[in-house]
Each structure stands twice: as C-alpha cells, then as structure tokens.
C-alpha cells in the first residue's frame, strides 16, 4: 500500500481476487482505506474476497466496460483514488484478445492495466502487482498523461517488509487462514499447482504442509 499511497479514507479498486488481490484488500483496510472494491471474472473468487476481506464485489463481464461504469457510478463519476492491478498479463482472454496478441507479437494482454487507468480518478494512483514480462504496443500513454496518473509497480521488495508483516500476523492484525482453501502434503505438490492454475474446487490459495499425511 506504500505504492498505492493509501493513508486513510481513499477509495481503492482491486482488479483480481486471487491471493494477491485479496491480500491487497486486507492491506488497504489496514492502512485505513475508506472503501475497497474488488473485481474478478469468477464469482467464487469474489465470494472469497467478500468473506475474507470485506470487499464490495464487481463481476467482470465481456469486455469489462460494466466494471468501469460501476466503479464510476459509485464514485460520483470520478473513479477511485487508487486502482490495483492484481491480474497481470494473463487475464481471461477472448478470441479477439488472443488474435491481437498474436498480431502484435505480445505475450498476454494489458487489458486489465488499461481498465485500471480508465477506472482511476484524475490524479489517482495505479499500482501494478500483476506481472508484465515484456513490452506492449498501444499502451495508453495519452490517458496516463491526460489524467495525470501516477503509475507504480514491480516485484514486491519482500525483504524490506517481511519483519513488519510478520508482526501484523503475530498481533492478529492480519489473518491469513481465511485465504487458504487447500492444505496438501508435499507429495501432492503437482496436484496443488494444477488445481490452482485451472481454478478447480474453488481453489484460491494452496499451502503445502510437509507434516500433512500423504
């Protein structure tokens, strides 16, 4: 939330209700956000985010225009103070999205980052947690300039924050249990990865437990 500049009272829209997005929501509340919305294409992920991080939920449908409209309609037309991209370059993609990527020789798509730039208010902050591994054509540089958006992101500097974060867990200020959906022994590691990737059995977060019975 340092990148997102959340200090208290801000409206925050998080795209992606995976473990990263849900933990971003918990962090936003911890920093005193005034409102936390979360967006996903999967209803079960949104239910998890609502239950574990008290988020307002928005289901991404079709090209995602409904999301931008909904975010603007609950923020007096302005957009949220902060948008967080917790999806990255591998969003759910249509045939047309895939054809565009092939034509542009790109890996995946920047459509969620574009949606963040549309949903954030003028002068707002877009924080990019989802991975983008390469260059992309048609990046909305005009919108970035016109709206005066601050764009931050990158790999989490885990070493910088880990002591502070563990302390939050020890003090009970952050609960992790409610994000975990599966605990598996090490012998089932391949099943765990497969289930997470294919989003089977309402999977959100798998913990590999060396002491669990195989």
Ligand X SMILES: NC(=O)c1ccc[n+]([C@@H]2O[C@H](COP(=O)([O-])OP(=O)(O)OC[C@H]3O[C@@H](n4cnc5c(N)ncnc54)[C@H](O)[C@@H]3O)[C@@H](O)[C@H]2O)c1
Query: How distant is the alpha carbon of residue 120 from its chain centre?
Result: 14
Among 4, 12, 17, 36, binds ligand X (CB under 6 A): 17
Alpha helices in the chain (DSSP H): 19-30, 43-53, 65-73, 95-104, 111-119, 141-147, 158-170, 189-198
Taking contact as CB under 6 A, which single stretch among the options 26-34, 80-88, 134-142, 165-173 is the one that binds ligand X? 80-88
Closer Cβ to ligand X, 45 or 121, answer by number: 45
For the bound state, the minimum distance from the C-beta of residue 165 to ligand X, rounded and expressed in Å, comes to 13
Picking from 41, 97, 31, the residue whose alpha carbon sits closest to that of residue 64 is: 41
Comparing every residue's Cβ against ligand X, the nearest one is: 18
C-alpha–C-alpha distance, residues 37 and 49, integer Å: 10
Closer Cβ to ligand X, 45 or 147, answer by number: 45
Q: How far lies 165's CA from each of 24, 29, 170, 172, 174, in Å?
A: 13, 14, 9, 11, 8
Return the residues of window 85-104 that contact ligand X according to CB under 6 A. Answer: 86-88, 91-92
- The reply on whether position 13 binds ligand X by CB under 6 A is no
Are residues 214 and 185 in contact, defined by beta-carbon separation less than 8 angstroms? yes
Closer Cβ to ligand X, 39 or 120, answer by number: 39
Among 73, 134, 155, 171, binds ligand X (CB under 6 A): 155
> Counting beta carbons within 10 angstroms of the beta carbon of residue 185, is it exposed (0 to 12), middle (13 to 18) or buried (19 or more)?
middle
For the bound state, the minimum distance from the C-beta of residue 208 to ligand X, rounded and expressed in Å, comes to 15
Residues contacting ligand X: total by CB under 6 A: 25
Count the neighbouring beta carbons within 10 Å of the beta carbon of residue 107.
Answer: 13
Burial letters for 110-123: b for 16+ Cβ neighbours within 10 Å, e otherwise? bbbbbbbbbbbbee
Closer Cβ to ligand X, 117 or 129, answer by number: 129
- The reply on whether position 188 binds ligand X by CB under 6 A is no
Among 6, 21, 126, 195, binds ligand X (CB under 6 A): 21
The contact mask relative to ligand X for 100-139 (x = CB under 6 A, - = no) is ------------x----------------xxx--------
Closer Cβ to ligand X, 16 or 192, answer by number: 16
Footprint of ligand X on this chain (CB under 6 A)? 15-21, 39-42, 45, 60, 64, 86-88, 91-92, 112, 129-131, 155-156
């Amino acid at each position: 939330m340092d990148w997102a500049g959340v200090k208290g009272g801000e409206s925050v829209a998080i795209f992606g209700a995976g473990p990263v997005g849900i933990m971003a929501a918990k962090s936003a509340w911890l920093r005193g956000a005034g409102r936390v919305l979360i967006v996903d294409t999967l209803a079960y992920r949104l239910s998890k985010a609502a239950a574990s991080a008290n988020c307002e939920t928005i289901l991404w449908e079709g090209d995602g225009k409904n999301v931008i409209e909904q975010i603007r309609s609950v923020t007096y037309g302005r957009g949220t103070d902060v948008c967080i991209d917790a999806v990255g370059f591998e969003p759910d993609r249509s045939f047309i999205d895939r054809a565009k990527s092939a034509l542009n020789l790109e890996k995946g798509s920047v459509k969620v980052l574009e949606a963040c730039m549309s949903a954030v208010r003028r002068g707002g902050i877009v924080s990019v947690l989802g991975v983008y591994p390469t260059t992309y054509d048609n990046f909305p540089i005009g919108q970035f300039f016109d709206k005066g958006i601050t764009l931050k992101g990158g790999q989490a500097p885990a070493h910088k924050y880990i002591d502070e974060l563990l302390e939050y867990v020890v003090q009970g200020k952050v609960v992790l249990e409610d994000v975990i959906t599966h605990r598996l022994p090490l012998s089932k590691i391949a099943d765990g990865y497969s289930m997470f990737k294919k989003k089977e059995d309402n999977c959100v977060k798998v913990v590999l437990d060396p002491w669990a019975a195989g």
